[in-house]
Amino acid sequence: MSDTIAQQSGPGSPPVVPLRRTPLADRHIALGAKMVPFAGYLMPVQYPGGITAEHAAVRERCGLFDVSHMGEFDIRGPDAVAFAAYVTSNDVRALAIGQVQYSAILNARGTIEDDCLVYRFADRIMLVVNAANREKDWQALHASFAASAQRFNCTLTDASDSIALLALQGPQAQRILQPLAETDLAAIRYYWFVETVVAGVPVILSRTGYTGEDGFELYAAADDAVRLWDALMRPGDVTPAGLGARDSLRLEMGMALYGHEIDDTTTPLEANLGWIVKLKKGDFVGRDALVAQKAAGIRRRLVGFAMAERAFPRQGYPVYHAGVGSGLVCSGTVSPTLGFGIGTCYVPVDAAVPGTALEIEVRGKRIGATIVQLPFYTRK
């Protein structure tokens, strides 16, 4: 994952920034993928069949994503669980061995530095973070380690460059993966994982994903990525899917994306993520700020909206409530599954109820929209 290429630049352009390549970059190029810079990596945004076809494949059958750009941090030592609980908002101590947890890394203001997954092993904790925030998260964890009044007996390792991550998603995922796996996939519950072998490759196999469909994420050594990808693609009923479909799939489910619904100006309480904040677990980074915000009451809340007529609400479009500006669209698209425009935005907390009328300014014209209950799409 450490191989790099240079972005093209011309006279007067910013300095050339090297782009990393995942171990599967050559596979994507061979399949005709449109490759774009993303979070410092050269990544496939779509394949020749198009985003809509990839989206439909995941909803109806099965799609395969390369998400090897994600970051993985290992925490080891007697205080690994205690340190992970201190630097994330959810309660790591409540995890059983083999369980996964959605959580957030906060700062002292209680705002979100990143969202993450927490994996609890018998001898360590693994944090999975967003590629764009990898360096920032690494610095934040070390700063928390140094600043805490508690002395944590543990070590932190950035294992990202040695790990590849594939996501097999869709209602047919278990059927396709089972013949390749040396474990009973039906026994793996949602947000649990096992260490096993798939197609002769040692993997961490978790029943997790970012699409709203059933599926699995497979962590393997970077050197084994091509072998694993080829084995998953070999049956012929798996569609390679890029970042475009990944984004439209997660938006239909109302799942937050860092830099869109959440960032370091938003708190979990504002972003409908209060369920990953465990204020009673003891001290953690950002706790005091969230206790104060909860006592005072939040002033805005993240909501989903549906367009009243066919229109494409894009990130950054102005939002109006009762004729008054109410921020900007966080994420928006025309839902490939539902066939109409959907999006997310923040509104005053008193207005954040289904049925409330909004207006979205699309190319200078205000178009009606209605706040709806999330998720937009519910799996059959």
Q: Residue 129's closest CA among 74, 196, 71? A: 71
Radius of gyration (C-alpha) of the chain in whole angstroms: 21
Domain residue extents for the chain: 14-298, 299-372
Chain-centroid distance of CA 229 in Å reads 21
Element (H, E) at 295: helix 287-296
Q: What is the pLDDT of residue 151?
A: 85
Q: Tokens for 323?
A: 């004729």
Q: Tokens for 37?
A: 């810079």
Grouping H, G, I as helix, E, B as strand and the rest as coil, residue 278 is coil
Beta bridge partners of 334: 341
Residue 326: count other Cβ atoms within 10 Å of its Cβ: 18
Beta bridge partners of 38: 41
Residue 132: count other Cβ atoms within 10 Å of its Cβ: 17
- Which residues of the chain are under the pLDDT cut of 70? 1-17, 149
Per-residue pLDDT tens for 205-232? 999 999 999 999 999 999 999 999 999 9
Q: What is the pLDDT of residue 8?
A: 47
HSE-CB at 245 with a 13 A cutoff on CA atoms is 32
- Alpha-carbon gap, residue 305 to 309, rounded angstroms: 12
Superfamily of domain 299-372: Aminomethyltransferase beta-barrel domains (2.40.30.110)
pTM of the model: 0.94
Per-residue pLDDT tens for 65-118? 999 999 999 999 999 999 999 999 999 999 999 999 999 999 999 999 999 999
- The answer to whether 305 and 367 are in contact (CB under 8 A) is no
Q: What is the pLDDT of residue 3?
A: 47
Superfamily of domain 14-298: Probable tRNA modification gtpase trme; domain 1 (3.30.1360.120)
Q: What is the pLDDT of residue 17?
A: 67
